[in-house]
Structure 1
Amino acid sequence: MTTPAVASYLRWKRDVAEHDYTAASSYLSIRFGQDHADQVAAKLRKLPVTMRRANDILRATGREPLPLTDPGVLNDLKKVLSGEKLSPILVAEGDIADGYHRVSLAYAIDPFADIPLKIG
């Protein structure tokens, strides 16, 4: 199967799942404190979803993709294989606030795949 054929399995929700904002706030609170994290999460809720390539998201945030053997990546792969849509990524303060596993999975399938995300 070619990479574009495999990439066609990646399907995305129109908007971010509500629990992902909570997860983003939790992650950001470790880096910046809870008050700032809550403010950032509130701002992210109001932003539109845009598209960026998986490789660009990882490069811009200074992250290396997680391997397919990572439990979170495997969990997202199971979702994709069962036909479930993935939630868009949240990028804030120059980092992936939520969706690191989803970006890593997309990158493994097709580094140039367009990924929906909110950037704040």
Structure 2
Amino acid sequence: MAVKWMADPEAHDYDAAADYLSLIAEAAAVEATVGALKVADSIHRKAKDILRAACLALLPDTNVRVRSDLGKISDGKKLSPILLVRGDFRTNAPLQIADGYHRVCASYLTDENTDIPCRLVSWQS
């Protein structure tokens, strides 16, 4: 079954991204970066590449949020695009999945080559 996607992230995704990013960056950088995510164009990246760039493990289908998203995929419901903050190869800083880790994992479990719509920005200051 193919994964279906909404055209734009949901409003609460930006709040979730800000909550997560506030754990690893100062408030001004978080505010500016989330602002950039809101106006960024969508791009598509494969689930397998997102997980690799983020240096994150695949969450199993037993994870409650992944299981929920797998159910949505099975029911033909659309998932919200994911929000990403670019890593930096020069400092070995990984890509940050600011919001949508469980959606990436559910997509990977459906098909690792799933093209996922993303908003991708660099850290803003």
Which residue in 2 is equivalent to 1:113?
Answer: 114
Deviations along 1:10-39, one digit per CA (max 9) or x if unpaired, are 100011111101100110001113222111
- What displacement does 1:55 show? 0.4
Q: Does 1:23 align with 2:24?
A: no
The structure carrying a bigger helix percent of its residues is 1
Stretches of structure 1 that go unaligned for 5 or more consecutive residues are 1-5
Which residue in 1 is equivalent to 2:58?
Answer: 65
Q: Distance in 2 between matches of 1:111 and 1:24?
A: 23
Q: Distance in 2 between matches of 1:65 and 1:35?
A: 31
**What SS class does the counterpart of residue 65 from structure 1 fall into?**
coil
Which residue in 2 is equivalent to 1:3?
Answer: none
Which residue in 2 is equivalent to 1:47?
Answer: 40
Aligned counterpart for 2:77 among listed residues 79, 84, 87: 84
TM-score normalised by L of structure 2 = 0.85
- What displacement does 1:113 show? 1.0
Which residue in 2 is equivalent to 1:98?
Answer: 99
- Answer whether contact 1:29 1:35 (CA < 8 A) is retained: no
- What displacement does 1:63 show? 1.1
Which residue in 1 is equivalent to 2:90?
Answer: none
Q: Does 1:38 align with 2:31?
A: yes
Q: Distance in 2 between matches of 1:78 and 1:53?
A: 20
- What displacement does 1:92 show? 0.9
TM-score normalised by L of structure 1 = 0.89
Q: Distance in 2 between matches of 1:34 and 1:80?
A: 35
Sequence identity, in percent?
A: 40
